[in-house]
Structure formats: structure tokens, C-alpha cells
Amino acid sequence: MRGPHNIWRLIRTGATFERTGAMGVALEAMDAPRPLRVAARILGWPFKWLGHKGDPAQPPVTRALTALGPAYIKFGQILSTRPDVVGPELAQQLMVLQDKLPPFPRAEAMRVVEAELGQPVEAMFSDFSEPVAAASIAQVHKATSADDGRQVAVKVLRPGIERAFSRDIDAFYFAAAMIEALSPASRRLRPRDVIAHFEGVVAGELDMRLETSAASEFAENTEGDEGFIVPRPFWPLSSRHVMTLEWAEGIPLNDLAAIDAAGHDRVALGERVLSLFLRHALRDGLFHADMHQGNLKVAPGGEIIALDFGIMGRIDEYTRRVYAEILMGFIRKDYKRVAEVHFEAGYVPADRDVDEFARALRAVGEPIFGMDATHISMARLLSYLFEVTERFGMETRTELILLQRTMVVVEGVARSLHPNINIWQAARPVVEDYVKRNVGPAALLHDLKETARVAIRFGPRLPALLERALIAQATPPPPRPSGGPLWGRLAWAGLGAALALAAVALLDML
């Protein structure tokens, strides 16, 4: 499908960007090469009258994407996770991209539910409300379970949304190929890789079974977290196009007047949002990667409720340790250690000078830490850090981009609740606790334990290894110095046996 028929879609897109004033803003933010800017203007300006007008109250790029529809809205949301592509300032604007669209009819939603779950709606739900929220991919209905009378939230995928997204993604790929052909210099922005990343994220969101799985895992991980609620999913009432969760009543986190009227402590809420995010990212390696105010509520008891699990972030244990050490180094102003961690992790090429990198990091940190607490910004720090790491040849760490972007979003949420919050002071206890448990003697013991488990799994293979070594010795090769094949293999077998025995002893002690 990626052919000339997509030209009309590109013309309409360029015309909308031109009409809303988004064209110049977007190209400037991405530092687009001149040939690409000229081509974009040629594509957009003559057809400006064909573009959508959009909402003048919104920033230009947000206005254009919202006017162009669901796929463009979602694309903007994904781009907000890529400050390395669109720049920190535009990424910040896209974080608040409005994801509200007119709902589709209740009757259509009920038809989808019946088709997916194989039963009449009345058999599953004693009541099924009109839409209570509508977004680019799905909408939510409040219902009551016919089995036990519990209130639930039923999320239903928009009919035809998969085909619509497929069509628009096709046009995006076509645009990316044109950009790379017209301007080879633009390849550093990796347009096709960006579209592929977008396609992968959307593919996950278009299958409600994956979101249901994420909600289930997140709920299990956070079950013991005080002051935090994740609605549990109902698997029998969920499928590819439908997801059913517990209903969670609460005040949206952006309704400050209602939060104050209910008597909730906004200072405590702001600090809790930040500490919960860090705890989930560092402790579990699974975190909510779309923690804006629209996906967070305050329960009557003061707990924070998380909603919408379409975008979740994962980081492995090693990366968590690296990230924690980097954060801890900045908190302690130990710039040499922050530099060393970057080198140890292979984030910065080994041929660069670690002391020079540490000085550059000090230039990033000191001006920020010298500010009043109300101006200490994670967003500003990450913006400067991107500049420094690029200068030292650090490649984009895709596993950290979503984590960094979410940290910026969480900072914004925390500041909206508590403008004077000291981000680093709130983060320090969580990071210190993680470092204490996972970096140092405790981490070494854990690593030895895991190594022992691996060694034990090879234990049953030792007899076969010895047998093969003895059979091979029955037909000896030409004479070799002592320490040849037999003794070498026996030595490895003996080492393996010793490791296995040591592992058993270690596990018994643990």
C-alpha cells in the first residue's frame, strides 16, 4: 500500500500543519535540514486552504495533530516520548496532547461487547451506561456485573480503528521514505525507525488482551504499595477488543479545586506520585509510562488510582542499577561517579576522557542545584544531559528514553499538586533505599545466588561431559603437552562439579 496513493494524505497533512502554524514549529524543533524544510513548505503552502483549521486555543503542533484525527493524536503522544527526535520543548508540549474525541454510540459498543464475549450484554451486565470517556483508540462505559453486582469499567475499542490506523501508518512510512530520499542529512533522525516504533506501540494498544495483561501484572506488583490503587481486570469479560476492570471512583488529579474541597493533602499527593513512580521503575522494572493527570485519580480515602495501561515501560535489572547510580550521583553531586557509571555501562565510548565527561556533567548539575527548590527541574536536567551525552558520542539509549520522558511527566504532575516541591528531596529516600539493597554487598550476594542457580542447572550434564571426554581419549590424537584434551575437559568437568557443590552449599545457607 505504500505508494503514490498516499500523496493525497500527505498533502492534507502538510496543508493542516501549514494552516495551523505547526509546520515551522515542528521543523525547527527537529532541526530539520534545509532541503526538507523547502520540500515541506512546497507541499504545504499551495494547499493551505485544504488543511483543517483545528482549535486555535491549542499550541500549533498539538492543534494540527488533534485536527487530523486519532492516528495523528496517538503519533503525537508517542513522539512526546522521543525528545531525542523532536527536541525537549516540543516533547513537553506533546505530553499534554488532548486525547478526547467524540464517542461512538452506546449501541455500537454493546454490539462489539456481544460479538467479542459471545453473550448478550444483559447476561453479563445488569446495566451498561453511555460513554463516560472517549479517546483516540477506545472509550469507556460504566457497567454493573450481572454475577455479583460489582461496578466495572468496560473499555471498548473503536470500530474500524485498526483499519484506520493501518491506513495512516502506511502514509507515515511513505512520508518517512520521501523525507530520507529528499534529504539524506535527515537520516540522522531515523524517520523510518520512529514510524516502526510508533507502529509497535500502537499494535500493543490495539489488542486489549495485552493491556489487560499489563494491568494484571501491575496490580500484582503494587498490591502492597500504601496509598496506591490499580483496578484489577476481569479476564472472563476481556478479549481482543474489550477490557473490563474494577470501577475506581475518584477525583481527577487535574481537578485541584475538587481535591482541596475534599480535604486531600496536595503536598503529600505530589510527593507520593513521584516516589511511587521511582519505586515501580527501580523495584519492579515495570512502570506506568503515561502518568499524566488524565490517567490518575484521588480515591475518597486519599489513595492515588492509576488508569489506562496501554503504555507501560520495562527496564531490566542491570539498567535499573545504572539509572539508580546515575540519579544517586546527581543527588550527592558526585559527578565523577556519574561519569564512571556511564563508562562502565558502555553508554559513552571508551576512548573518551572520563574526567572531561565528569566536568561536563558538573556544568549540567551545578547551575540547577544552585537554584531554589522550586526551580530544580528534572526536565531541565535531562535536556542539558541530552546535549552533553550527544557531544561525547553517546548513542540514544532506547530503554532509557521512555523512563526519562515519564520522569518529566511525573515531575509536571507533582508540581501541579505542589508547586514548591523539591524533586530531588522527594526522590532521595526511594533511590537511596534501592541503592542500599541492590548496589553493594546485598547485590553481590543476590548475584552469587543467581549464578549458583544457573550452575546447578548444569549439574546433570556433568556425567555426560565426563563420558564424552573418556570416549574421545580412547582414540588418542597425536601427542600433546600435558594438559591436553582429556585433562582439560576433566578440569572443566571438575570445575563444574565444584561450582555445583558450592552452589548447593550457598543455597542451603541462604
The rounded Cα 129 to chain-centroid distance in angstroms is 32
Name residues whose C-beta falls within 8 Å of residue 416's C-beta, 6 or more positions apart in sequence: 253, 254, 256, 270, 293
**Closest listed residue to residue 125, CA positions, set 108, 152, 107, 144:** 144
Cα–Cα distance for residue pair 292/271, rounded to 1 Å? 15
Q: What φ, ψ does residue 82 adopt, rounded to 5°? A: -125, 65
Cα–Cα distance for residue pair 63/72, rounded to 1 Å? 11
| Cβ(469)–Cβ(486) below 8 Å | yes
233 DSSP 8-state letter: B
Instruction: Transcribe 158-198 into DSSP letters.
Output: PTTHHHHHHHHHHHHHHHHHHHHHH-GGGGGG-HHHHHHHH
Tell me the sheet residues that pair with 304: 228, 298
Residue 290: active-site member:
yes
Alpha helices in 146-289 (DSSP H): 161-182, 191-205, 208-221, 256-261, 266-279
Exactly one of 170, 290, 351, 353 is catalytic; name it: 290
- Which sign does the torsion angle of CA 104, 107, 111, 112 carry? positive
- Residues with a catalytic annotation lie at 290
